[in-house]
Amino acid sequence: MTAPVDERLRRLQHELDDHSRVAERLGIDLERPLRSLDDGYPENAIALVGKITEKLLKQLWRHHEVAGDPSGRMLSELIKGCRPHIRSTTVLDALTDIQRLRNRSTHDGYEIAEEDGLLAVRRLVDVLAWFASTASPALSGNDPRMEPEVARRVEFLAGLYLTLGYRVSKRFVLSTETVYQLFCRESGVRLEYVELLLSKDAAELRNVLESTGGELLKTRLPKLTRFVILDDVVDQVRPLLGQDYRIVGYEGFIDTIVDLQTHLASCATAAPEMPSERLPLSGALLASDPHSGESLITEVDDAEPLLTRLMQESANVLVIGKPGSGKSTLLRALVNDTPATARRFRFYFDLSLKSKDETFAEYVARILAPCMPGERAHTFELFLYLIRSGSALCVLDAVDEAVEEPSPEGFLRLFADLASVLSAESCVVMSSRVSFLADSPQIRRLLDCSSAVSEQLVEQVYANGVDPQRVPRFSMLRLTGTPTGSETTSDVDTAVPPTPLARRIRSALDMAGARTFTELIGSHIDHVLANAGLPHLAPALADACGRAFLEDRTVFPLLELHNALGPEAFDGGLITPEAFRLAPLFRPADDQALAFIHSAYQELLAARYLSTPAGREQAMDLPGAPYLTEQVRAFLAAHPTNTSPPAPAEDCVLRPGVYLVGPAERLLLRRIHRLVRFDRHPVTVARYRPFLQALRPDGTSPWDHPDQPPGTTHAPWAERLRAPDYYDDPRYDDHPAICVSWWSAYAFAAFEGKRLPTSLEWEAAARGTDGRLFPWGDTPDLQAVNCADTWAGRPLVTYQACKQEFDRGGLGHAWVTPVDARPSNRSPYGIADMVGNVWEWTSTSVNDPDEAVICGGAFDNPLRAVQASAKGLFRRSRASNAVGFRCVTELPPDTGDEAKEGSHA
């Protein structure tokens, strides 16, 4: 039941009286807001609280010599400028509440109630209590004086208990090195007290105790805890303290509230076993070019010393690398091996174990709750306070698995959620296998706080509810997968770099020699099933756990595993982690749930699930879009059903079914409904010539699109052609038809009794059912494609490199080549020359009906832009040397395998 307003006013009056010294020094009247409340004007009380708060912050601004003059600044600006000098999250929240209440009180039509005014005064008391309890000279002056180290400790302990919901009842400076503090908080109908006696020197404390007769305060207040915090304990002190004091060292005092060693120990047991021998891993430190935003390598070295150095500089670090590259092992070693003197507080959170419906605050509270008995309500606030202390190391492993969607927007929303944790005062190290953050110039400029951030991106950040100023800044460390230490020849020559994961699997399987990442993970899964005598459960494991990954579920209750795999998967009828016969593949997520020892295991099972038509159909019907990662796609492309020689499929026929499409950051499953046959090659000059001969004198035809704009001609745009005789000289007959508009491509397809493919049909035909990167597979091959890299004679990794090559004239001779010049550029269905050479028109439009989607990339694009997923938009009325087309023929639904032909256009 809420206390009457009069009673709460009296209580607030009593608490404000404790800060009369601050009020007198700064010349402020703390009673005016209470008088306004008592007179029935809560809006005036809120306005007065706002003015008092502004005066407090201006004093703090000047004391810490914040750049600029605080006079005339708005409350929001004052809070922002003073934020780095206020460690307490509670105080920052109080300041935000005061700002919010004042904004609402000045808004026309908003009725201000007494409760709003009382809340404003209460939050002002919280702000004053912080400064009073820490003896901040900003507000209270230099009296009483304390040794700087003692003052720092007093500030930390006062903020700690304020964060836990206490307020300061008493504080006495007994000497320059000894301070007494009494904290109190309401717990239901009773008050809880904590009494602290802090002294840096035992001899000084003994003198103080002897001068007071051994009793500091004669009080009958019940105290839950009485601590003496002392660096060095001497026996002469104990008799003077009585029986109800606990003496602890300052550095170990935090263990009385949260047991961080237990937390780190639990993290170690929840993760795969650490290797006994440290494995050197090569890391590249990245920075972005301030003009282009392209990532530049500034240093290459052993990743561990690079990361340690960044940590010592209190930098936020994002570690990126492919699955199994050693990110988690590196981060766990960092948090477990860091000397306590370097970072007093260390935290490790595996975000792959965070439930999707959990907020980050809820997840932290759940993980730390076993280490903080009785304080769960304040767990996250305490965690934030320790992070803001400037002496913490926080590791957020597998952060990409906590992103709602693997896109720049998804990451920005996550970073905004973590903004309070990613404080410049402490060091936060995150890991992610998603590298497009490093590859995206706009995002890199944003994370590097570059002045070249585009207005479009700033608007996008604001649209996601994120203040661009609160987006954390990062150093970027990429694990290259190449060992930097001395390795055996067999290790160096393997297809998989000798990462901790690869070594662990090879050790478990007692095998050596070349193994791809897919083979390593698959062999380990099959080995554990065989050792348990359960090889027949492989399909059930893929169905249950592979499908669960597509549903974005990575944690499995034991009962769910029992139901999915059957009782034979458990020994003795016991549904416990110890009885689970496939335990070598899993790690504990909590007392009654498991997760795979590495996310790649579940991704491989998801690929096995998708490798069959039935699995793809079921995945397509999952509620919401299936969760697909680039690693799932890579595993699917490497699945034996896709890498072994397929049955003849040279008929260029795309059959109805479910196909994996989309770029790496947004992979999708989409259904093809029609049976269509693609032209084997893009339409050539020789094929286009009869159509030109059939045109009317004005350049139109009987096969024109009904919406074709007046004045359109299907004759090639001669002014654009780099070879004026391109359509007349027989030597170009086998070259693609180019410099034709979308309207011309449409009319030509109708001329041949065909149509243009949709962009979905085109991509499915290029990638097959396994979602391969290129028509021929996942391995880049410059001999198979006509692209800018081919003409430059070297890989053009970034668009900036491509631009530089173009500017120096290295791409001056790049142009189209015959459509059959590269026989290895062939899709699983025998369709040739689908990527590179020329973009190809499709029938698909997105938003603007005057634009159509083009697919595949062209001769002037770098290899990274001529993948099977490459798409662009081009005006239908435009024509280019780099844009051609091919056609498709719709087949009757029952054609099936009988559609095969030896050859066709």
Q: Which CATH architecture has domain 1-135?
A: Up-down Bundle (1.20)
Strands 190-199, 295-302: pairing kind: unpaired
Question: DSSP letter string over 64-108?
Answer: TT-SS--TT--HHHHHHHHGGG---HHHHHHHHHHHHHHHHHTST
Total-model pTM: 0.76
So what's the pLDDT on residue 902?
42
Question: DSSP letter string over 405-438?
Answer: SSSHHHHHHHHHHTTTTS-TTSEEEEEES--HHH
Residues 6+ apart with CB under 8 A from 366: 358
- Residues 326/448, Cβ–Cβ less than 8 Å: no
Provide the percentage of residues in the chain whose pLDDT is more than 70.
80
Same fold, 144-256 and 676-897: no
Backbone angles phi, psi at 325, to 5 degrees: -80, -5
In Å, how far are 363, 526, 595, 609, 611 from 605, measured between CA atoms?
27, 11, 13, 6, 10
- The whole-angstrom separation of Cα 378 and Cα 257 is 11
So what's the pLDDT on residue 466?
58
So what's the pLDDT on residue 216?
60
Q: How many residues does the chain have?
A: 905
Q: How confident is the model over 472-480, as a mean pLDDT? A: 78
Q: How confident is the model at residue 586 (pLDDT cuts 50, 70, 90)?
A: very high
Please say if the pLDDT value at position 440 is more than 70.
no
So what's the pLDDT on residue 204?
82
Residue whose tokens read 């608007």: 459
Please say if the pLDDT value at position 224 is more than 70.
no
- Residues 568/560, Cβ–Cβ less than 8 Å: no
So what's the pLDDT on residue 555?
92
So what's the pLDDT on residue 755?
97
Residues 6+ apart with CB under 8 A from 612: none
Please say if the pLDDT value at position 643 is more than 50.
no
Return the closest-CA partner of residue 295 out of 74, 450, 80, 511: 450
Mean pLDDT taken over the chain: 82
First to last CA, the chain: 84
Please say if the pLDDT value at position 669 is more than 90.
yes
Strands 178-187, 190-199: pairing kind: antiparallel
So what's the pLDDT on residue 477?
87
- The whole-angstrom separation of Cα 872 and Cα 859 is 15
So what's the pLDDT on residue 900?
44
Residues 6+ apart with CB under 8 A from 27: none
Higher-confidence residue of 710 and 357: namely: 710
Residues 6+ apart with CB under 8 A from 463: none
Q: How confident is the model at residue 135 (pLDDT cuts 50, 70, 90)?
A: low
Backbone angles phi, psi at 569, to 5 degrees: -80, -5
Domain 676-897 has CATH 3.90.1580.10: yes
Return the closest-CA partner of residue 81 out of 63, 102, 104: 63
Segment 321-343, tens digit of pLDDT: 888 888 888 888 888 876 655 67
Q: Which fold has domain 144-256?
A: Trna Endonuclease; Chain: A, domain 1 (3.40.1350)
* Domain ranges across the chain: 1-135, 144-256, 260-479, 516-642, 676-897
- The whole-angstrom separation of Cα 14 and Cα 4 is 16
Q: How confident is the model over 770-793, as a mean pLDDT? A: 92
Return the closest-CA partner of residue 100 out of 80, 120, 115, 118: 120
Q: How confident is the model over 143-153, as a mean pLDDT? A: 77
So what's the pLDDT on residue 703?
96
Please say if the pLDDT value at position 297 is more than 90.
no
Provide the percentage of residues in the chain whose pLDDT is more than 90.
33
- Residues 311/393, Cβ–Cβ less than 8 Å: yes
Segment 704-741, tens digit of pLDDT: 999 999 999 999 998 889 898 999 999 999 999 999 99
Q: How confident is the model over 531-545, as a mean pLDDT? A: 95
Amino acid occupying residue 771: G
Q: How confident is the model at residue 344 (pLDDT cuts 50, 70, 90)?
A: confident
Domain spanning 260-479, CATH class: alpha beta
Higher-confidence residue of 271 and 579: namely: 579
- The whole-angstrom separation of Cα 216 and Cα 208 is 9
- Residues 304/429, Cβ–Cβ less than 8 Å: no
